[in-house]
Each structure stands twice: as C-alpha cells, then as structure tokens.
Amino acid sequence: MDRRIKFRHLDTFSAIARSGSLKRAAEEMRLSQPAISKTLKELEDILGVALMDRDRAGARLTQEGEIFLQFAEQSTAALRHGLRSVRAGGTSRAQLSVGALPSVASSLLPPAVLAFARSNPDTLLELHEGPHYDLTSRLRSGKLDLVVGRLGTPESMQGLVFRQLYAEEVVIVAAPGSPAATVKQLEDLAAFRVLYPPPDSAIRPLVARMLIARGVPLFANRIETASPALGRALTLADPGTVWVISRGVVLNDIGEGRLLRLDVETSPTMGAIGVMSLADEVPTPAFRAFSTALQRVARGAVPQQAHPIPVVHASRSEQPFFKPVK
C-alpha cells in the first residue's frame, strides 16, 4: 500500500461512502465538513482517480470508488483486529467489542452479557450502544467485532453477514392513564403527538410501509427521535404523546407497568433481530461464545427480564447474507 495513505484517509472515505453525505460523515467522525472534504481530496490525489462524485444531493461512489471501498474496509478491519490481538496478547486477555442497538440493549443483551462473563472471565468485553448506521459503520472499519440488533435495509447490510436470533415487531406505547389507551386504529393516532423513528433508523421503513398499506398519511404532529431515554421521558411526561418504537426497547417498561402498549395492530412491522459481522470474518472463540450466549437467551434457555410479552420466533430468511448462528 502507498505509504502516504493513512488510517484517517480510509476511515473518512468509508464513512462518506456509507452515509452518502460529507455532512453526515463529518458528524459521525466528529470533524468539520471542510476537514472531511480535504481528507477525501488527499486520498483521491494519492490514488490519481476520483473516488466520488459530489453535488448538493450528496456523494456517490464512482466505479473506481466502488472497487476501492471493498479493499479499504477489508484493510482497516484487518489492521484493527491485528492491533487488538497484539494488545490482548500483551495483557494475556482476549477482547471482544460488541455494538448493540437500543432494541436489544435493555432486554436481550444484559442476560447474555452476564452469561458470557461467567463462562469467559478472562475476556475483556467492550459494549457500545448506538443507532444502526453508526454501529455498522464501526463494524466495517474493524472498531467492533459484532453488532446485535435489527436487520437493516439491503444497502446498509452490504459486506455484512446477519445471523438471525428471533423476530420482533414495532409497538406503540403511551403512559398509563393516557387518553390514547383506548385507541385501536392506526389512523386515530393523528389526534396525538407521535414520537416517530427518524429516517436513518432500522424500523423507519417498516413503519412507513405499514402506514402506506393502511392508507394512513405520515403523522403531521410528530417528533422524530431514535433516543430511548428521550422517547421514554417524553411519553411519561405528556399523556398526549404516543411512542412508535421497537418492542425490545420498552419490553421491561411494559412488563413492569411503566408504559402501556396500545391495542393497535402492528404485525406488519415484524423484523429480524440477530448478530451482524463482517462477511469474510473468521469467528474467534470469544465471538462464538458470545453468539452462543445470545442464542440461549433468545430461545429462553437463559431468562430475560421478567415481562408478560413472549419473544416471537420466525423462520430463517432466505436472503444471501443470512447465516445460522453456530
């Protein structure tokens, strides 16, 4: 590799490619947009080709950029894994970095983490919570070993393998005693303030398709947020607010009576929850052990937090990036 190419060049290029926007890449990397643009230009000058076409609509990969992206992500992932392995060898401890979407962070993950920690006391486990786009970007760059959460769109899953654990639906919740408690039809939610998934959330396309299928327009009185803490606080603070959210995020709240699930049919939003990893990654013993712990929790061998809502299992998908957990 040309010695002038640095980690920052590859990380920046990958972030722009996945987000399709210099602005979003800058936000992800916590840098200014001019700095992101300068780094991309440096990389293109080193390679002598244009990797992206940029305009007001965003940034799109050129043919050369599509080719280079595959090798750039493989290289950064391999180097980061190598660094972690060397550091782990120096401390006599294996390491596993896990990203978790909010839909599993409060339900599936805690018992799996505890089960893994008991059987693998010498492994240093790092846990990171965040939105789908951010976590899958970190996975591709080698900063994470695996991500646990909801299956994303085909575009967001490029280069990744998804191993399904179970399926869950999106639910609509309100505070106990809310006037929304009697709502049974999706269209009646227009009378309330709706906390709605933002465009980059994994559940947004599922909810949007459900609205379209039932002829319900996008709610005008809505606040878009992917923050579980903010969604929970707003819903509890205002009886006129309802929250459209993955069931796993509010599983314990419903089970313990803090939030009320509305009797609105949302089964069309059923989606897969599972483990994401790089397509060419060779599973380490720690990866296999953590996947086994997740699988045992998902099938009920290890109890989740007490709640009256059973986990709904679904058949395996036939999509090519699905693999069973081993």
Alpha carbons 233 and 191: distance in angstroms, whole number = 20
In a domain, 175, yes or no: yes
Residue type, 121: P
Alpha carbons 79 and 76: distance in angstroms, whole number = 5
Compute the C-alpha angle 9/76/293, nearest 5°.
140
Yes or no: say if 249 and 106 are a contact pair by the CB < 8 Å rule. yes
In a domain, 304, yes or no: no
Domain of residue 25, residue span: 7-71
How crowded is residue 215: how many other Cβ atoms within 10 Å of its Cβ?
8
In a domain, 22, yes or no: yes
Decide which of 253, 269, 285 is a domain's last residue: 269
Decide which of 269, 299, 317 is a domain's last residue: 269
Residue 123, classed as helix, strand or coil, is: strand
pLDDT one-digit tens code per residue, 147-199:
999 988 887 888 889 999 999 999 999 999 999 999 999 999 999 999 999 98
Number of structural domains in the chain: 2
Residue 80: pLDDT above 60? Answer: yes
Q: What's the pLDDT at 307?
A: 36
Decide which of 269, 287, 318 is a domain's last residue: 269
In a domain, 141, yes or no: no
In a domain, 197, yes or no: yes
Q: What's the pLDDT at 107?
A: 84
Alpha carbons 260 and 293: distance in angstroms, whole number = 30
CATH number at residue 58: 1.10.10.10
Residue 255: pLDDT above 50? Answer: yes
Q: Taking Cα atoms as reference points, which of 243, 261, 254 lies closest to residue 306?
A: 254
Q: For residue 111, what are the contacts with CB-CB under 8 A and spacing of at least 6?
A: 297, 302, 303, 304, 305
Q: What's the pLDDT at 172?
A: 97
Taken as a whole, the chain contains a residue count of 326
In a domain, 262, yes or no: yes
Distance of CA 265 to the CA centre of its chain: 24
**Token pair in block for residue 245:** 């959210």
Alpha carbons 55 and 18: distance in angstroms, whole number = 16
Q: In what order do the strands lie in the sheet with 146-150?
A: 123-129, 94-100, 146-150, 271-278, 160-168
Alpha carbons 289 and 115: distance in angstroms, whole number = 10
In a domain, 128, yes or no: no
Residue 85: pLDDT above 70? Answer: no
CATH number at residue 203: 3.40.190.10
Q: What's the pLDDT at 14?
A: 83
Q: What's the pLDDT at 26?
A: 87
pLDDT class of 230 with cuts at 50, 70, 90: very high
In a domain, 223, yes or no: yes
pLDDT class of 310 with cuts at 50, 70, 90: very low
